[in-house]
Structure 1
């Protein structure tokens, strides 16, 4: 009879104290044993090395750490570059809308400006969006003539912003009344897009010559924005 075997008879003998209780090996025991083995192997590897050899080994391990860190940073930078692939306000036409907006918004945030060149507020919005597109290159900014996007769309509702994400419209902004019309600042549009989630502040780039804006002001008390149900028309 083998007292170490896990049999029903041995269990009965252990229960009555005839055989000692079987020691259960846990995952922690296995892990601790592996760590101890690794330490012993490392100790053996270092035995007999002189100071110069130890210094050389330390330099090699430092180089390995630096190389690992360098590869990690390069991977992070490449991942960021893969996200930041836009950088300009692009004009599209009606046939492009489904591909450039609805379908493309599955993978990224898209800001659409419905505009007319003859409307001063639209020109102002285009100027602000052009700069924001350069600063937030992970977000796609496009513009389209209003009546190409929605036939007979009233000029009185311009400029209009449509914000898409996950293949659906997430927000809309009609007119600039909320921000004071022609007094609207780029910061106003930026804060609106931040609130929607369409731009990521951690990926913001500075424009040449642009000073730090400092503390952000909260203009939530300003009212007057007009909203128009566009979902059925797109």
Structure 2
């Protein structure tokens, strides 16, 4: 456009346009405030047994809580704490907590560590107990995220379980060798 054409088009911005922009601005501001109200957590917080009722059972309606019971010195517990810390930043609408097992539950057996409990509004929705459930030190953050999304605690953008399921080669070869005919007489059958 030439300078004259630009000046002609510049005057076409009127009061209706300004009102529409103001309405849009207010809508975006309201959306941003709603998002900020949801994203109130964002970190893995250490709690004690005295905090348990307040932080877990009285967390509030619609609030998901992920609680990791751990013990210092157990490598898998340390790994899960690292993963949960990054997941807490990724999913700030979910409350991520950790507690030393014996301070939260007296005489909690070490063989059950690590343990992750998932709560919604104070009611337990899922539990993952013991090292076998987590698959050992090869556990990836995405695998833990997938597990938490299956329980409903987080809404992941992962499309499938990142842990590849082991395929039973013997059973799949037996299934593939079974006859598929449903009672029809075939000349190829002996």
TM, length-normalised to structure 2:
0.75
CA distance in 1, matches of 2:156, 2:75: 28
Equivalent in the alignment of 1:144:
99
1:158 to 99, 113, 118: 113
CA distance in 2, matches of 1:220, 1:172: 21
Gaps of 5+ in 2: 1-7, 167-190
Q: Does 1:171 align with 2:126?
A: yes
Q: Secondary structure at the match of 2:59?
A: helix
Alignment of 1:4-83 (within 5 A): 59-83=14-38
- Match of residue 72 from structure 2: 117
Query: 2:84 and 2:34 mapped to 1: Cα distance?
Result: 24
- Separation of aligned partners in 1, 2:159 and 2:34: 30
- C-alpha distance in structure 2 between counterparts of 1:201 and 1:64, whole Å: 38
Report the CA distance shift for 1:201/1:217 in structure 2 as closer, same or farther (over 3 A). closer
**What number of residue pairs does the alignment pair up?**
157
SS at match of 1:137: coil
Task: Report SS of the residue matched to 2:133.
Answer: helix
1:89 maps onto 2:89 in alignment: no
CA RMSD of aligned residues (A): 2.1
The one of 130, 133, 140 aligned to 2:88: 133
How far residue 188 of structure 1 moved from its aligned partner, in angstroms, is: 0.7
- SS of aligned partner of 2:77: helix
- For residues 85-111 of structure 1, give each alpha carbon's deviation from its aligned partner in whole angstroms, at most 9, with x where no partner exists: 111110000111000111014341010
Q: Could you list the per-position Cα deviations for residues 145-203 of structure 1 after superposition, in whole angstroms to 9, with x for gaps in the alignment?
A: 1112211111011000000102211110112423420000000110011111111347x
SS where residue 92 of structure 2 aligns? coil
Note closer, same or farther for the CA distance 1:59–1:96 as it changes in structure 2 (3 Å cut).
same
Q: Distance in 1 between matches of 2:116 and 2:134?
A: 14
* Distance across 2 between alignment mates of 1:163 and 1:60: 53
1 or 2 for the larger relative contact order (CA 8 Å, sep ≥6)? 2
Relative to structure 1, the CA distance from residue 201 to residue 80 in structure 2 (aligned partners, 3 Å threshold; closer, same or farther) is: farther
In terms of Rg, which structure is larger?
A: 1
Q: Unpaired runs of 5+ in structure 1?
A: 1-51, 203-213, 223-234
Residue 146 of structure 2 contacts residue 161 of structure 2 at CA under 8 Å; is this kept in 1? Answer: no
Q: Distance in 1 between matches of 2:123 and 2:41?
A: 20
